[in-house]
Amino acid sequence: MNFGARLKAFLAAHWVYNRFLPVAVAVWLVTLFALGQFLPLHGVAAAALLVFAFWSDGSRKFGRILFPFLLFVIVYDSMRWYADFIRAPEIHTRPPYDFDKTLFGIREGGEVLTPNEWTQRHTVAFLDFVCGLAYTPLFFVGETVAILIALYFQGRQRWAERFVWVFVWANFLGYTLYYWYPAAPPWYVANHGFLVDLSVRANAAGALRFDKLVGAPLMEGFYGHSADVFGAIPSLHIVYPFIATVYSWRMPRVRWLALGYWLLVCFSAVYLNHHYLLDIFIGLGIALTSMWAARALFGPAQFEAEKPAAAAPVAAQSAAA
């Protein structure tokens, strides 16, 4: 297809592709430049949005599962500009700690420890590596992307669209809770006690043991530069693989691997001192709420592959002379 044909098909496409997306991308880029926050990665994301919207009907179809995911990335990136202005004034450091200590406390040496405190006293190099690897963005976000691509190429477009929108809604609900109920992670209490200190920088906590094993500051580079120290509740780390497990459950080759990975991430969140068990339970509630809302608003999604449109009937051959 030449450029003229692509342009004609683009102009005839839904207004979301040929009007809304170009304008939204332009506004986003202008805003980034005005704030002095533009990065090359932003240019790559903008180009991806426009190329998928323009290239073909097939790319626009794939874009329907890509665009929500990029929206999630844009919102996450933008929170660093306004987080301090929308966060509730009271930051909770003790209640999550007391919850875990009261309901799940482990007695050792005459004292009661939270599961986080106990695991920090009983670390194992093998678990440091496995949990650290499971906690890298390559896996807990990459799993979602991989399953979305697999569903798309299996022809399960609507199931993939439902999956990605539930993923995005769960993130937005989680971000809302971050600022409505700001809470300190367990590493903060371990290092700084229960007093609130807004000058404290993010910390990779137990994930630094993974960095030490591999000899590179991978986790420090990612978690050490988090924009929000007091965003422990809910644990979105466990939300992603849980939703991925649910939406891949009808894929026999994937389901048990996805379930095992989710359970490993739940354990890793505690073992690496990033989350309390309370954070995990609330994260699970966020995931279930997002799936319930999608079903209530739009009805059940069909997993079956969509059938391609029937081919046009072949013209009858002319009679032989």
180: closest CA among 290, 51, 91, 267? Answer: 91
- Evaluate whether 118 touches 106 at the Cβ level (below 8 Å): yes
CB 234 within 8 A of CB 286: yes
Output the tens digit of pLDDT for each of the chain's 321 residues: 677 888 888 788 878 888 888 888 888 889 888 888 788 878 888 888 888 888 888 888 888 888 888 888 888 778 777 777 788 889 999 999 999 999 999 999 889 999 999 999 999 999 999 999 999 888 888 899 899 989 988 888 889 999 999 999 999 999 899 889 999 999 999 999 999 998 888 889 999 999 999 999 888 888 866 667 888 999 999 999 999 999 999 998 899 999 999 999 999 999 999 999 999 999 999 999 999 999 999 888 888 776 654 444 433 343 333
CA angle 114, 287, 172 (to 5 degrees): 100
Phi, psi (rounded to 5 degrees) for 196: -85, 125
What is the reported pTM? 0.85
Compute CA distances 218 → 29, 40, 213, 222, whole Å. Answer: 29, 20, 11, 7
Return d(Cα 7, Cα 43) in angstroms, integer: 22
**Token pair in block for residue 277:** 């068990």
